Amino acid sequence: MIKSKYNVIGVMSGTSLDGIDLAHITFEFHQYWTFKIHKAETIPYSEKWLIRLKNLVNEPRNVIDHINISYTEYLGDVIQKFIKDHKIEDLDAVCSHGHTALHQPDNGYTYQIGNHPILAEFIQQTLICDFRVQDVELGGQGAPLVPIGDRLLFSDYDYCINLGGFANISSEIDNQRIAYDICPVNIVMNRYANALGFDYDKGGTIAKSGGIDHDILNALNALDYYKETSPKSLGLEWVEDQIVPILDTSRGSEADILRTFVEHIAIQIAASVRSNSEVLFTGGGTYNNYLLDRIQNQKAFKLIVPSKDLIEFKEALIFGLLGVLKLRGDINCLSSVTGASKDHSSGYVYYP
C-alpha cells in the first residue's frame, strides 16, 4: 500500500533477553523518511520465559515448534495489552521480529519464534514478520537487517553501532551500505553478572573492579571470525562454541572475566571505526559507562549517545520501518549487508 504516512507498531526481542520492546511509531515520506515515536516500552520476561529462551538452542526442532506456538500466543497478549493501554487506533500494521531460536545462515537456516500466522488473528491486525527467512533463502546471512533503517533514518552519522546481545555496525562505503556483527556484548556480559546474582552489570561497575587476564584476552582477539570480511553475522551457537570455552579456562573471578571481556569488546569496536568519525551508539550496552570509556580509550572519535527512546527502541523502530517498506513493496534488505544474491523486500504479510 503506497501512501505518505503510516501508523505502525514495531516489536523486537533481542538475544540479550532484556524483554520485548514495543514502539508505536508514525512514519512519513516526503522526499525522505521521518519518524515520531509516540509510546514505547519494554516488557521484561518472566523467569519461566527467560529459562525457556536461554535454552532454545539446545532444544530439538519439535520442542522449538511447540514453544513457537506458546511464544506466539504470549507475544499476542503483550501486543494486545500495549494497544489497549495506549489506546492505539487505526494501525496499518504490527511489524514484529520475533525471537531468534536458531541462526545458522551458512547452513541455509534461520528460525525466529513468535512469527506464526495465528498472531495476526489473535491481535486482529495486519502482521508483517519473519524478515530473515527470505534473505537466507537468497544466500544471505539474514542479518543484520537494521542497516536499511540506518541509511534511511540516520545517514548523518559515519557509523551506527548497536550494543545489544551483540555489537553490530553499519556504515556507507562507496555508496554501499556495509554492516556486520562485530562481537558479542550483553549475551556474554549478562551471563557473568547473573552468576553474581545481578541481571546485568549496571554501569560496568563489576567489570571496573576486575583485572584483565591477558591470555584470555589474546585468545578472544585471535578468533577466526575477527579476521573474516563482511558480510558476516553471529549467533548464540557461535558464542557457546567459540567464546564460552575460552572464558571457562579462566582462573579469575567473574569480575576479572567481565573486565577482560569489556576490553575485548572495546578493542573490536575501535578496530571497526575510523579516527575522528561520528558514531551513533544505541542499545542497552550504551548504559554501560565503563564500556563506553574503554571504547573511547582505544581510539579518538566522536561517540554520540542519543535520547533514551532511541537508545532503547531503535531496533523496534527500524523493524517498524522494515514492515512499512514491505507494505510498499520497497527494498528493505540490502545484499551489500547480508551477502544475498540481490536486494529484496523481505518479510511475510498476514491478515486477520
Q: For 146-166, what is the mean pLDDT?
A: 96
The letter for the amino acid at 337 is V
Asked if pLDDT for residue 1 goes beyond 80, the answer is no
Identify the residue with better confidence: 236 or 189. Answer: 189
Report pLDDT digits (tens) over 305-352.
999 999 999 999 999 999 999 999 999 999 999 999 999 999 999 999
- d(Cα 168, Cα 182) in Å, to the nearest integer? 5
Mean confidence (pLDDT) of the chain: 96
Going from the C-alpha of 128 to that of each of 56, 145, 166, the distances in angstroms are 23, 14, 24
pLDDT for the residue 92: 98
pLDDT tens figures, 191-204: 999 999 999 999 99
The distance from CA 241 to its chain's CA centroid, rounded to whole angstroms, is 20
The type of residue at 34 is T
Residue 15, pLDDT score: 79
Q: What confidence tens digit (pLDDT) does each residue in 240-272 have?
A: 999 999 999 999 999 999 999 999 999 999 999
Separation CA 47–CA 49 (nearest Å):
6
pTM of the model: 0.89
3-class SS of residue 189: helix
Question: What are the φ and ψ backbone dihedral angles of 182, each rounded to 5 degrees?
Answer: -80, -55
For residues 84-92, give the mean pLDDT.
98
Phi and psi, residue 303, nearest 5°: -95, 115
Q: Note the pLDDT tens digit of each residue in 11-67.
A: 999 877 889 999 999 999 999 999 999 999 999 999 999 999 989 988 999 999 999
Residue 233 pLDDT exceeds 90: no
133 pLDDT more than 80? yes
Output phi, psi for 282, to 5 deg.
-135, 180
Average pLDDT over residues 226-248: 93
Burial environment of residue 123 by CB neighbours within 10 A (0 to 12, 13 to 18, 19 or more) = buried
The CA distance from 58 to 165, in Å, is: 18
Q: How far apart are CA 270 and CA 273, in angstroms?
A: 6
Phi, psi of 335 (to 5 degrees): -65, -30
Please report, rounded to a whole number, the percentage of residues in the chain having pLDDT higher than 70: 100
How confident is the model at residue 106, as a pLDDT?
Answer: 87
